[in-house]
Amino acid sequence: METIFCATCGNECIPEGCTSGYGIDNQGKKHCFACCAMQDAKQMRETGKAVLYLGHGNEVSNWPGTLKIQPLRVSTSRHNIGGKRTDVWFQFENQNWHGVHIGGNNTLLRCKRVK
């Protein structure tokens, strides 16, 4: 098996459970899960948008689970297409964020910084 090193920190990317141990960015570079969290946080700061995940107990996280945020408030309502809509409000770096999850067969949470 090929040894993969993180393009950001240079550490070896070690597989965990059934995962590869790394994420791949838009340029095809591989990054360890810790550096994925740093890049996700940087993207949130710079763009004010993120695609995160709604996990167990309504925890907000990035794909590998290395960036975790507890919601301040969660509200579930009916959705005409997806059946269910979950709105999540949370704080990231002292700024308010809002995320929307639609349906029940996925965990995608589309998030925006609240102005």
Which residues does residue 101 pair with via DSSP β-bridges, in sequence order?
86
Helix (H, G, I), strand (E, B), or coil: what is residue 15?
coil
Candidates 103, 101, 105; CA nearest to 52 is 101
Query: pTM for this one?
Result: 0.85
pLDDT, tens only, 58-107: 899 999 999 999 999 999 888 777 678 999 999 999 999 999 998 877 88
* DSSP codes joined into one string, 61-108: E-TTS-SEE--SEEEEEEETTTEEEEEEEEEETTEEEEEEEESSS--E
In angstroms, the first-to-last Cα distance of the chain is 47
Buried b / exposed e along 39-50 (16+ C-beta atoms within 10 A): bbbeebeeeeeb
pLDDT, tens only, 9-67: 999 998 888 888 999 998 999 999 999 999 999 999 999 999 999 988 889 999 999 99
